[in-house]
Amino acid sequence: LGPQEWGYCTNSNQPKPPRAHYDHVTKTLVLCMDHYCPWMFNTVGYFNYRYFCNFLLFVFVGMFYGALLSFRPFFAIQTDDYWRQIQWSKEHHKHSPIQHSTSFEYTPTPPERTAIAFSFMICVSVGLAVMCLL
């Protein structure tokens, strides 16, 4: 068959257009099939490729925004302000958990430390991975 000739799909028992492929997950013929996307739960092809690209763009923008929000607290974790905040909180609040003060507003408390590090690293790594797909 040439590139412009129709064929016959034995899986779906239908005429097969040029550049169409049978998708075994959705059990349909897909024109210009690119791949099956488990996040969109659909096959990416001719009619929805732009939606897939929009999805990747919005995921990248969201991860970039998340990395921007957690950038300053993440890099304030190992600074001198972090240790001064812990000392200040221990001196002023002997029997209560460590609290924020106005002079250390971007410095996370010890319970927040893991969540901030995790969110920053996830946002950066997923953002870079999705950017490679764009």
What does each of the 134 residues of the chain score in pLDDT, given as a tens digit?
667 889 999 999 999 998 899 998 888 999 999 988 887 788 999 999 999 899 999 999 999 999 999 998 888 777 777 677 667 767 766 665 655 555 556 667 777 788 889 999 999 999 999 999 87
Residue 9 known to be catalytic: no
Of the residues 9, 32, 37, 123, only one is catalytic, namely 37
What pTM did the predictor assign? 0.70
Query: What is the three-class DSSP state of 123?
Result: helix
Residue 22, H or E segment: strand 20-23
